Every structure is written in structure tokens, then in C-alpha cells.
């Protein structure tokens, strides 16, 4: 037997713990009216999860709890426990014996247990649904409810039959899939809106990244040009240095030798001619010439330095002018921006005070005009302050240079004058003195050579000065290019070029190209490249994540929709097949009961009018109308034709005929898909003796596939039971059970 026992304690009239053991295929429960038999049937409904208190003949949960009597105080809780033999695993749980227990407390709270462990109602309903013990209770027929199936609506009938056919499990699955689908669709809406939120930011970042990539390309171009340019410049500078050094050394050496020779010539002159006045003069002139030369050399150096600075400043000035002309780096004095903001705020405040859409629009219009003209004005202006500074500096340097040039010219004049005097004195002495004045001659020669050397050295010094300023310029260029194109530019040292080509014009051409790239790079603005790249990467990763999420959600919504359709189709198919099978049994049982006639279930579609409100947000509100929509509802109708009577339709049947018809249908349903047990509470009440016999036969037949618990006053029915329980009620209103023999049963039943 699958159903082993049921225990009631504190449930309705069963104040004390009472147990029923169901050891036989058919058990009967007998007893006088009001003794508590139906309470046992209700205890089954209760423990199997019934949620309608009304169908347990109560108004509140409390009504199910023993309410107290003469001999026993009221209970705090009602407790029913049913025990199944699960050695054949008809319940999907790995225990040989399974107890299901439900407790209701006075505060109407419920507790559920499987094998003593607390569980949720859902767990119990699912466990039982798999074993075809549905919660609609098609297998528990309460007192007076035998013909419920005849009286109920077509839709309710359909539900009862679905339950009896074991199709509820598809319903559960379908409902669960529908819930999941709803959840999936609402997730989809959320994720789609998240993705829409990301989109504009992503577009913005993409544009930034494209700009950065263009900048990268410019840098690369600059690098390629700069490597060659810098290498060539380095070669040029080093060659120039070598060439200057190479020329200077011998000249300086010779100059030094000349000095020594001059000294010895002077000594010889002094010795040979004594202290000649003219010679003294000559020596003094020579000294003055030396001084003037030293002075002019000093000034030449100074002029050189000033020229270098002027060139450098002029380059700076050019750059500043370029920047001033480009509109990206315009400097606007803070006070002008503050004034603009103040003016804008004033207009906004006025508009706020005045209110009204028109004023607001007018203010917006004037604000736009104001901002546009501000920008236009600023565009036209150049930032002259810094430029003026630089120009002033250049002017200063030029002024200093002019001064130095003037000085130099003065000294040169003096120098020339000295030379002139010197030359004429020399000629004088030469003509005046005789050939014994060889030393003097020698001295003049040396001095003239010294003058030549000095001029050559000056040229060299000039070259050296230019070289220094070019080297400085070179260093500055490297730093500038590295700042724009990156430090890899320093690799120019290992760049190989054809060193024979030292054409300076070509090199100038390269320099101009590099300048162009530099300007374009500076104009494009270099800041924040890495941050933008990082943010773009993160944002596009998030976007693809959301895209994948959306696709996944769409896929799962699609497969859920398909599953729902499939489950519906399966349900329909199995339902139709089930109806056919039930009809076969129903026809047989009906003919057996009524000795002929016919009965069948019919699947029909009934029209149903449903009011439906249009809730389309796109429509203007005054167009919203409620429209009536026709829908078809599937239900079950019952056709009966009694033998020898011209009666058709359920309405015309007598009480007994109704009872017989519904019993036939119930039994037919139970035979097609037998539930583990069936409880019938006085289903046989309306039957006469002959029909009681037929009922008894059918019960025996039914007991081959389902365990039966029969609450009855009918002797014939009692006679078919293997075990009979008597239920009596004592004077305190407490129900009691006793196991009795068939002979006693009829006595107890009265
Ligand atoms: P019949 O043969 O007339 O159908 P029955 O044996 O099926 O009778 P029940 O309907 O099961 O009788 O029992 C009803 C009895 O149970 C009533 O006497 C009722 O007072 C009692 N009863 C119901 N609920 C409670 C409760 N909460 N506390 C105490 N007694 C209760």
C-alpha cells in the first residue's frame, strides 16, 4: 500500500492524537452523524496543501484547531501527518518511507515538513504533483461533492480533468516559463537602456581616439623626418668643430712664435740702435695697437653673443605669433570671462523672475547672441602681451648690439689710425736708417704677419661663435622634438645617413618640414591621450559586454517562448488523448450503471467577451477607447442520453441519476490515470440497493489501481472494505477511533 497511515492531533474534533492505519486496498470509515468522519477526509486535504479554508469548512485557520470541550482544553495547534510507503519511489525523494506533515497555529501561521524537516508549501506541492496527487483534490471527493464536476463551469471541469490526467505538471512548467520570460524581458529592457546610456559617451570617446590616432601618425611622420635631420645636423656640427679646431691650432702656435720672435727682434733692435727715440715711439705704437686689437676682439665677441640671442628671441617671437594667430590657444583674460558669466546670470535671473515661456525663449536667444559675439570678438584678437615682451627684449639686444658696433667702429678707426701712424713711422725709419736696421725690418715683417694671423683667427672665432649658437639651437631642437614625438627620437644617434651629402640647403628644407609637423602637432593639443584610450577601452568593453548580454537575453527569451508554445501544444495533445480515453471508460461505466444509454465529454470552444483598454502611449489621450475583444475559451461539456428515456442534458437528471453519472465520470477519470489513493466521502449516499451493488463492484475494480478510503453509511460499501474504522464522539465532543469488524460496523455506523 502506498498510503500507510494518517495521524491527527488537535485537528478539528480530534482533540487527542488519533491514527488510522491503511493496510488494505479498501478501508472504510464508519460512524454516526457528526462523529467526525468528514474531518478525516478534510485532514487529508489539509495535509496535502489545501489553501482554501472554505473548502475545509472553516472561516479562519483557527477553525481547524480543536476548540476545547468539557474534558479537554482547546489546543494551540492542529497537526496532521500522512505517511507513505516510498519503497517503489513513487515520490521523487530518496527515502523508503516519506512523512508529510502540516501544522496550523492559532495565529493562522502554517508550517510544513517532509520527513521532519521544515520545507515550503511549494516543495510539498511539487513533490505531490509529480506523484499525481494534485492540489485540486480530484481524488478527494468530499461529502455532497460527488456531482461537483457536473455542476461546475466548463473551465473548472477542464482544470479538474487536466489535474486528473496528470497534466498539471505541464501547467506548472508553463507558468514557470512565463514568469521567467517576463523577468527576462524586463531585464532585456533594462540592459538595452543601459546600453543606450553608454552610446553617446562611446561615440564621443571614439572621435577622441580617432583624433589621437591622427596625432600618433603626425608624431610618427615627425619622427621619421627628425631622425635624419638630427643625424645630419650632428655630423655637420662635429665636422665644423673639427675644421675650426684644426685651423686654429697652427695659427695660434704661429702667433705665439711671432710674439717670441718679435721680442727677440725688439731686443736686437734695442741693442743695435740704442734707445732711439723713433724706435721707442714705434714700440709704444705697437703696444697701443695690441691694446686696441684686444679691445676690438672683446667687442666682436660681445657682438657675436648679442647676435646669437637676437636670433634665438626672433625664433621665439615667430612661434608666439603663430600661436597667437591660431584660434585653439587663445588666451582670454579671466576678468572678461567673469564679466560674461555675470551678464549671463543677470539675464537668467531676470527670466526666472518674469517667468513665462516667451520671456524664457527671448532670454535664451539673447544669451546665444551674446556668447557668439564674445567668441567672434576673441577670435579676431591676438594675444599681444607676451609678443610685446619678446619684441622689447629683441629691441634691447639690438640696441646693445648697435652700441657695441659703434664702439667697435670707433676702436677700428683708432686701430687703423695707429696702423697708419705705425706704417708711416716704419717707412720713415726705413728710409732714414740704413741696412743695419735689419732687426727693425724683421720686426715689421713679424708684426705684419701677426696682423694677418689675427684676422684669420678672428674669422675662426666668428665661426666658433656661430657653431656655439648652432649647437645650442640643436640641443633646443632635440628637446622640442622629443617633447612632441617622444624620447625615442634620441635614437637619431644610431640613424645611418649618407655622410657625403652635407648640402645645407637641403638640410634647411628638412628643418622647414619638421617645423610644419611641429606646428600641426602643437595645434592638435596633446593632453590626456592615455586617459582617453583607457576610458575608450573600458567603455567599449562595457558596451560589448552589454551587447552580449542583450543577445543572450534575446536568445533565452526566444527559447522560453518556444518552450511555452511547445508545452501548450503538448498539453493540448495529451489533454485530447486523455479525453478520448476517459470517454471510452465513461461510456462503459455509464452503460453499466444505467443498463444502456450513452455519455461523453465534449471539448468545446466558447466565446467570451473581454473588455480591453488600449494603452498605446503613442495615441493622443482623447482617442483612447475601450474596445471589446472576443476570445475563445476551451472547456468541457458533458453529453448524456439515458436509456428508454427521452432525457438529454444534465439539468433533467434526478438526484440519484446525477450521483450515478458523476460516479461513472469520476471512476472513468481515475481509471485512465489512477491516483495513488482516492477518498470518497459518502459518494454512495443517494444510491438505492441495486445501484449500491453496482457501486460496490466498481469500487472493487477501482481498488486494483488505487488505494481507497471510503466514508460511508452504506452496508454494501462496508462489505467491500478490508479494514473498517469506527469513529465515535464522546460526551465532551472529542472524536475517537476504533478498529471494528464488519458485523459491528453497521451498528457503529448508526
Ligand atoms: P455526518 O455523518 O453527518 O456527515 P461526520 O461524521 O462526517 O457527520 P463531521 O462533519 O466530520 O461529522 O464532524 C463535525 C463535527 O466536528 C461537529 O460536531 C463539529 O462540532 C466538530 N468540529 C468541527 N470543527 C471543530 C473544532 N475546531 N473543534 C471542535 N470540534 C469541531
> Which CATH number does the domain housing residue 30 bear?
3.40.50.300
The pLDDT of residue 77 is 95
Say whether both 403 and 264 belong to one domain. Answer: yes
Paired with 738 in beta bridges are 726
Cβ atoms 104, 78 nearer than 8 A: yes
Regarding the beta carbon of 31 and ligand 1, being less than 6 Å apart is answered yes
Low-confidence ranges of the chain (pLDDT < 70): 134-137, 270-276, 326-330, 380-383, 430-439, 499-501, 525-528, 606-633, 647, 743, 746-747, 749-750
Regarding the beta carbon of 36 and ligand 1, being less than 6 Å apart is answered yes
Ligand 1 centre distance from Cα of residue 724 (Å)? 19
> Could you say which DSSP state residue 14 is in?
B
Regarding the beta carbon of 77 and ligand 1, being less than 6 Å apart is answered no
Residue ranges of the alpha helices (H) in 144-167? Answer: 148-151, 154-164
- The H or E element containing residue 87 is none
Classified as helix, coil or strand, 3 is strand
**Residue to mutate (ligand 1; options 36, 75, 749; most atoms within 8 A of CB):** 36
Give the three cell numbers for residue 664: 461513472
The pLDDT of residue 624 is 43
The pLDDT of residue 93 is 93
Taking the CA of residue 69 as reference, the ligand 1 atom at the shortest distance is 29
Q: Where do the DSSP E strands lie in 120-191?
A: 140-141
* Separation CA 697–CA 716 (nearest Å): 10
Residues 6+ apart with CB under 8 A from 233: 474, 477, 507
Residue ranges of the alpha helices (H) in 486-528? Answer: 504-524
Say whether both 245 and 112 belong to one domain. Answer: no
The pLDDT of residue 618 is 46
The pLDDT of residue 162 is 86
**Residue to mutate (ligand 1; options 8, 20, 28, 39; most atoms within 8 A of CB):** 39
Q: Where do the DSSP E strands lie in 237-384?
A: none
Ligand 1 centre distance from Cα of residue 311 (Å)? 119
- 545 within some domain: no
The pLDDT of residue 105 is 95
Ligand 1 centre distance from Cα of residue 748 (Å)? 16
Regarding the beta carbon of 38 and ligand 1, being less than 6 Å apart is answered yes
- 71 within some domain: yes
Q: Which residues constitute the domain of residue 401? A: 216-488+496-524
* Separation CA 354–CA 218 (nearest Å): 53
Classified as helix, coil or strand, 233 is helix
Say whether both 1 and 111 belong to one domain. Answer: yes
Residue 333 has phi, psi (to 5 degrees) of -60, 135
**Residue to mutate (ligand 1; options 38, 58, 142; most atoms within 8 A of CB):** 38
Say whether both 500 and 351 belong to one domain. Answer: yes
Say whether both 322 and 450 belong to one domain. Answer: yes
The pLDDT of residue 587 is 94
Cβ atoms 156, 132 nearer than 8 A: no
- 149 within some domain: no
Say whether both 482 and 361 belong to one domain. Answer: yes
- 314 within some domain: yes
- 702 within some domain: no
Taking the CA of residue 682 as reference, the ligand 1 atom at the shortest distance is 4
- 536 within some domain: no
Residues 6+ apart with CB under 8 A from 245: none
Say whether both 99 and 222 belong to one domain. Answer: no
Q: Angle, to 10 degrees, between the axis of helix 168-273 and the axis of helix 121-130?
A: 120
How many residues are there in the chain?
750
Cβ atoms 735, 39 nearer than 8 A: yes
The pLDDT of residue 185 is 96
Say whether both 243 and 376 belong to one domain. Answer: yes
Q: Of 524, 544, 571, which residue sits at a domain end?
A: 524
* Separation CA 497–CA 473 (nearest Å): 21
Query: What domain count does the chain have?
Result: 2
Say whether both 251 and 381 belong to one domain. Answer: yes
Closest-CA residue to 684 (of 699, 702, 700): 699
- 597 within some domain: no
Say whether both 121 and 234 belong to one domain. Answer: no
- 667 within some domain: no
Q: How many Cβ atoms are within 10 Å of 584's Cβ, its own excluded? A: 14
Paired with 637 in beta bridges are 602
Ligand 1 centre distance from Cα of residue 36 (Å)? 4
Cβ atoms 574, 180 nearer than 8 A: no
**Residue to mutate (ligand 1; options 12, 59, 682; most atoms within 8 A of CB):** 12
Say whether both 377 and 500 belong to one domain. Answer: yes
Say whether both 103 and 237 belong to one domain. Answer: no
- Pairing label, strands 677-681, 707-711: parallel
Residue 645 has phi, psi (to 5 degrees) of -120, 150
* Separation CA 104–CA 406 (nearest Å): 120
* Separation CA 537–CA 341 (nearest Å): 36
Amino acid at each position: 500500500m502506498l498510503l500507510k497511515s494518517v495521524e491527527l492531533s488537535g485537528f478539528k474534533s480530534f482533540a487527542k492524537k488519533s491514527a488510522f492505519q491503511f493496510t488494505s486496498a479498501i478501508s472504510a470509515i464508519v460512524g454516526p452523524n457528526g462523529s467526525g468522519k468528514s474531518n478525516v477526509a478534510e485532514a487529508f486535504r489539509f495535509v496535502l496543501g489545501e489553501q482554501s479554508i472554505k473548502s475545509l469548512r472553516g472561516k479562519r485557520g483557527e477553525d481547524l484547531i480543536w476548540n476545547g470541550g468539557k474534558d479537554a482544553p482547546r489546543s494551540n495547534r492542529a497537526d496532521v501527518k500522512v505517511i507513505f510507503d516510498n519503497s517503489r519511489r513513487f515520490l521523487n525523494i530518496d527515502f523508503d518511507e516519506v512523512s508529510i506533515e502540516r501544522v496550523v497555529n492559532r495565529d493562522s501561521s502554517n508550517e510544513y515538513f517532509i520527513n521532519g524537516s521544515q520545507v515550503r508549501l511549494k516543495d510539498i506541492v511539487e513533490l505531490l504533483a509529480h506523484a499525481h496527487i494534485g492540489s485540486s483534490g480530484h481524488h478527494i471527493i468530499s461529502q455532497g461533492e460527488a456531482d461537483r464536476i457536473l455542476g461546475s463551469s466548463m473551465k473548472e471541469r477542464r482544470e479538474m480533468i487536466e489535474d486528473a490526467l496528470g497534466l498539471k505538471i505541464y501547467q506548472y512548467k508553463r507558468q514557470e516559463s512565463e514568469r521567467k520570460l517576463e523577468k527576462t524581458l524586463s531585464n532585456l529592457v533594462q540592459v538595452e537602456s543601459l546600453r543606450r546610456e553608454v552610446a553617446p559617451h562611446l561615440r564621443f570617446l571614439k572621435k577622441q581616439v580617432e583624433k589621437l590616432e591622427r596625432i600618433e601618425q603626425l608624431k610618427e611622420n615627425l619622427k621619421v623626418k627628425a631622425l635624419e635631420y638630427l643625424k645630419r645636423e650632428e655630423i655637420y656640427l662635429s665636422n665644423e668643430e673639427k675644421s675650426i679646431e684644426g685651423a686654429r691650432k697652427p695659427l695660434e702656435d704661429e702667433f705665439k712664435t711671432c710674439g717670441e720672435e718679435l721680442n727677440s727682434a725688439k731686443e736686437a733692435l734695442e741693442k743695435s740702435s740704442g734707445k732711439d727715440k723713433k724706435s721707442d715711439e714705434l714700440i709704444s705704437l705697437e703696444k697701443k695697437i695690441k691694446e686696441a686689437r684686444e679691445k676690438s676682439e672683446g667687442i666682436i665677441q660681445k657682438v657675436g653673443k648679442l647676435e646669437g640671442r637676437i636670433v634665438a628671441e626672433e625664433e621665439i617671437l615667430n612661434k608666439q605669433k603663430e600661436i597667437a594667430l591660431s584660434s585653439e590657444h587663445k588666451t582670454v583674460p579671466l576678468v572678461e570671462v567673469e564679466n560674461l558669466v555675470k551678464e549671463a546670470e543677470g539675464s537668467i535671473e531676470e527670466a526666472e523672475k518674469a517667468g513665462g515661456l516667451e520671456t524664457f525663449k527671448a532670454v535664451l536667444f539673447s544669451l546665444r547672441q551674446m556668447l557668439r559675439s564674445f567668441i567672434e570678438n576673441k577670435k579676431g584678437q591676438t594675444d599681444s602681451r607676451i609678443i610685446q615682451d619678446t619684441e622689447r627684449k629683441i629691441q634691447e639686444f639690438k640696441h646693445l648690439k648697435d652700441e657695441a658696433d659703434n664702439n667697435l667702429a670707433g676702436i677700428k678707426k683708432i686701430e687703423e689710425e695707429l696702423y697708419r701712424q705705425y706704417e708711416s713711422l716704419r717707412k720713415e725709419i726705413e728710409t732714414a736708417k740704413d741696412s743695419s736696421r735689419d732687426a727693425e725690418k724683421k720686426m715689421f715683417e713679424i708684426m705684419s704677419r701677426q696682423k694677418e694671423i689675427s684676422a684669420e683667427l678672428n674669422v675662426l672665432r666668428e665661426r666658433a661663435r656661430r657653431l656655439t649658437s648652432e649647437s645650442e639651437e640643436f640641443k633646443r631642437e632635440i628637446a622640442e622634438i622629443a617633447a612632441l614625438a617622444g624620447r625615442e627620437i634620441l635614437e637619431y644617434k644610431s640613424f645611418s645617413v649618407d655622410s657625403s651629402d652635407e648640402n645645407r640647403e637641403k638640410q634647411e628644407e628638412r628643418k622647414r618640414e619638421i617645423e610644419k609637423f611641429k606646428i600641426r602637432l602643437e595645434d592638435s593639443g596633446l593632453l590626456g591621450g592615455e586617459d582617453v584610450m583607457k576610458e575608450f577601452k573600458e567603455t567599449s568593453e562595457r558596451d560589448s559586454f552589454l551587447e552580449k548580454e542583450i543577445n543572450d537575453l534575446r536568445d533565452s527569451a526566444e527559447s522560453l517562448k518556444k518552450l511555452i508554445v511547445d508545452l501548450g501544444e503538448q498539453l493540448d495533445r495529451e489533454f485530447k488523448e486523455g479525453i478520448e480515453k476517459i470517454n471510452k471508460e465513461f461510456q462503459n461505466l455509464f452503460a453499466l450503471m444505467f443498463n444502456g444509454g450513452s455519455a461523453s465529454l465534449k471539448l468545446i470552444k466558447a466565446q467570451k467577451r473581454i473588455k480591453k483598454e488600449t494603452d498605446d502611449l503613442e495615441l493622443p489621450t482623447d482617442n483612447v477607447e475601450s474596445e471589446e475583444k472576443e476570445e475563445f475559451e476551451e472547456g468541457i461539456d458533458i453529453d448524456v442520453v439515458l436509456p428508454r428515456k427521452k432525457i438529454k442534458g444534465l439539468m433533467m437528471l434526478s438526484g440519484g441519476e446525477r450521483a450515478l453519472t458523476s460516479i461513472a465520470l469520476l471512476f472513468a477519470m481515475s481509471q485512465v490515470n489512477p491516483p495513488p489513493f482516492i477518498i470518497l466521502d459518502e459518494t454512495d449516499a443517494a444510491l438505492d440497493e441495486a445501484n449500491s451493488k453496482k457501486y460496490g463492484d466498481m469500487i472493487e475494480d477501482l481498488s486494483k489501481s488505487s488505494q481507497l478510503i471510503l466514508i460511508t453509511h452504506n452496508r454494501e460499501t462496508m462489505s467491500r472494505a478490508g479494514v473498517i474504522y469506527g469513529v465515535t464522539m464522546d460526551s465532551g465532543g472529542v472524536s475517537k477511533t476504533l478498529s471494528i469488524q464488519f458485523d459491528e460496523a453497521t451498528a457503529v455506523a448508526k
